[in-house]
Amino acid sequence: MIDLRTIDDLTRKLSASLPPGLCAATKEAEAGFQAILSSAFEKMKLVTREEFDAQCAVLARTQEKLKELEKRLEV
Write out pLDDT tens, residues 52-75: 999 999 999 999 999 999 999 987
Rg of the chain over CA atoms, in angstroms?
22
Handedness of CA 59, 60, 65, 68 (dihedral sign): positive
Q: Is the pTM of this model over 0.75?
A: no
Residue of higher predicted confidence among 21 and 52: 52
Q: Which residues contact 46 (CB under 8 A, 6 or more apart)?
A: 1, 2
What distance in Å separates the CA atoms of residue 66 and residue 73, rounded to the nearest whole number?
11
